[in-house]
Amino acid sequence: MADAQDWTGIVAAATRAPSIHNTQPWLFAGAGDRLEVSFDPRRALPVLDPTHRQQVISCGAAVEFAAVAARAMGQDVEVEVAPASDHPDHLDHLATLRVTGQRAAGADDRALAAAIAARHTQRAAFADRAVPTELVDQLQAEAGAYGVWVETLSRSDAELTAVALLSRAEQVEQQDPGYRAELEQWLRTDPAALDGIPVDAVSGEDPATRPSNWLVRDFLVGQRAAGRPPAAGDDDDPPAVQRPTVLLLGTDGDDSRAWVQAGRALGRVLLRATAAGLAASPLTQALDWPATRTRMTVQLSIVGHPQMLLRMGWPTTPGRETGRRPVAEVLRPVE
Ligand SMILES: Cc1cc2nc3c(=O)[nH]c(=O)nc-3n(C[C@H](O)[C@H](O)[C@H](O)COP(=O)(O)O)c2cc1C
């Protein structure tokens, strides 16, 4: 049985989870052998994520990080996902972690836990080297344990469609003043910021000028210093074309429970990939708004619901660590 002190270390690991715009929309309450994980509506993104779907996914990733950390600390844990709530205002309690006993942590537990600190969203170009198919098989199996399916979109017929939908969604979002204001609200120039996206974690270049079919989200819309594009002399080789592996994660259902499960699977996939030396960055522009998300479901003939698009590959530069709020701000004792 864990006491309140034990939850501090586990919650510190949980807060390293990725979250949309690094909003960290989670709250934890620890009591004895239970840790409750809730959504914090005060950290909502009303324009980008009106249903809170991506924030609940973020909380699900935090649940998985907590479970991985607990197992590596020698605790057996069970996760109980709260019953579905499709009312956006009643998403408070999402999941409970319960310590059920002690265990001897194995090498795999330790490798996954070490990946918690090593993982960072990597938006830069990846090396021109394929993601091993055995690893993708493993990611599919591990996500499958949470009822989440994983498909590779790269080099499939679906790729062209998804690429076009993503580019169009990015364009439509950029034209929305509310979307741009929200982006700006979560962009940070202070390197010591405890939340939000540090400007140096995103490319200063316009993502549209990259030699890549997949467009990463542009966090600097309207703020990029008007500069000349890098001059390419006649003798310069053209930049290498980037064709990252892109994985689509989806679920059969589409309620808060399915979103928590999608987040747990995302957390697991990211830690497994990091432990294998890979890096990733979500590409969720075409899934932000219900209408564009429905378009993707229809045009890709998806049976079920798309939850996450993940660009994955071998990193060529170290990832940038982003800030986190201290545990004391997010962990409360159960009343
Ligand atoms: C549900 C979800 C959606 C995200 N969507 C995007 C995205 O569209 N583009 C992007 O560059 N990063 C995206 N991210 C990554 C977050 O910006 C990132 O997790 C956050 O800034 C914290 O940084 P870290 O992952 O390096 O710890 C997303 C993360 C989550 C959990």
User: pLDDT band at 207, cuts 50/70/90?
Assistant: confident
Cα 311 to middle of ligand 1, angstroms: 11
For residue 170, pLDDT beyond 90: yes
Mutate to test the pocket of ligand 1, among 22, 43, 116, 121 (most ligand atoms within 8 A of CB): 121
Question: In this structure, which amino acid lies at residue 297?
Answer: T
Percent of the chain clearing pLDDT 70 (strictly above): 93
The domain tally of the chain equals 1
Q: Which residue has the least CA distance to atom 1 on ligand 1?
A: 54
pLDDT (average), residues 71-81: 97
Lowest mean pLDDT of 5-14, 34-43, 132-141, name the range: 5-14
Q: How confident is the model over 114-153, as pLDDT tens digits?
A: 999 999 999 999 999 999 999 999 999 999 999 999 999 9
Please give the residue range of the domain that contains residue 83: 4-119
Query: End-to-end CA distance of the chain, in Å?
Result: 19
Supply the residue whose CA is at minimum distance from atom 29 of ligand 1. 20
Measured from the Cα of 266, ligand 1's closest atom is 31
286 is a domain residue: no
The finding on whether 62 has its CB within 6 A of some atom of ligand 1 is: no
How many whole angstroms from 146 Cα to the centroid of ligand 1?
A: 21
269 closest CA partner among 15, 74, 84, 68? 68
Is 73 contained in some domain?
Answer: yes
Give me the mean pLDDT over the 212-225 stretch.
84
Q: Report yes or no on 96 lying in a domain.
A: yes
Residue 87 pLDDT greater than 50, yes or no: yes
Assess whether the C-beta atom of 19 lies below 6 angstroms from ligand 1: yes
- Name the residue among 298, 276, 277, 278 with its Cα closest to residue 286: 298
- Ligand 1: does its nearest atom lie under 6 Å from the Cβ of 188? no
Inside any domain, residue 45: yes
Quick check: CB of 54 below 6 Å from ligand 1?
yes
DSSP letter string over 140-170? Answer: HHHHHTTTEEEEE-TTSHHHHHHHHHHHHHH
Decide if 148 is inside a domain. Answer: no
Cα–ligand 1 centroid distance for 282 (angstroms): 6
Which range, of 10-14, 75-79, 125-129, 257-261, averages the lowest pLDDT? 125-129
Assigned token pair, 278: 């890979």
Residues 95-120 have a mean pLDDT of: 97
What pLDDT is stored for residue 92 in this prediction? 84
Q: What is the mean pLDDT of residues 206-225?
A: 84
Distances (CA, A) of 119 to 47, 104, 155, 319, 321: 27, 24, 26, 8, 8
**Binding site membership of 122 for ligand 1 (Cβ less than 6 Å):** no
Average model confidence (pLDDT) across the chain: 91
- % of residues, the chain, pLDDT over 90: 80
Tell me what pLDDT residue 88 has: 63
8 pLDDT higher than 70: yes
For the Cβ of 324 lying below 6 angstroms from any atom of ligand 1, the answer is no
325 within domain boundaries: no
**CA dist., res. 335 & res. 331, Å (int):** 12
Q: Which residue has the higher pLDDT, 57 or 204?
A: 57
Position with higher pLDDT, 208 vs 45: 45
- CA-proximal residue: ligand 1, atom 19 (nearest): 18
Atom number of ligand 1 nearest to Cα 61: 31
Question: Does ligand 1 come within 6 angstroms of the Cβ of 257?
Answer: no
Take residue 76 and report the two structure tokens written for it.
Answer: 């057996």
Specify the CATH number for the domain of residue 44.
3.40.109.10
Distance CA 210, CA 241 (A): 8
In this prediction, residue 235 carries a pLDDT of 55
Which pLDDT value is given to residue 4?
Answer: 46
Is the Cβ atom of 140 under 6 angstroms away from ligand 1?
A: no
> From the CB of 217, is ligand 1 less than 6 Å away?
yes
Distance 283 CA to ligand 1 centre (A): 8
**Greater confidence, 37 or 222?**
37
Written as one letter, the residue type at 107 is A
Give pLDDT, residue 232.
47
| 169 assigned to some structural domain | no
- Let me know if residue 32 belongs to a domain: yes
Q: Which of 284, 307, 311, 312 to mutate to test the pocket of ligand 1 (most atoms within 8 A of CB)?
A: 284
228: amino acid identity, one letter: R
Report which of residues 213 and 325 the model is more confident about: 325
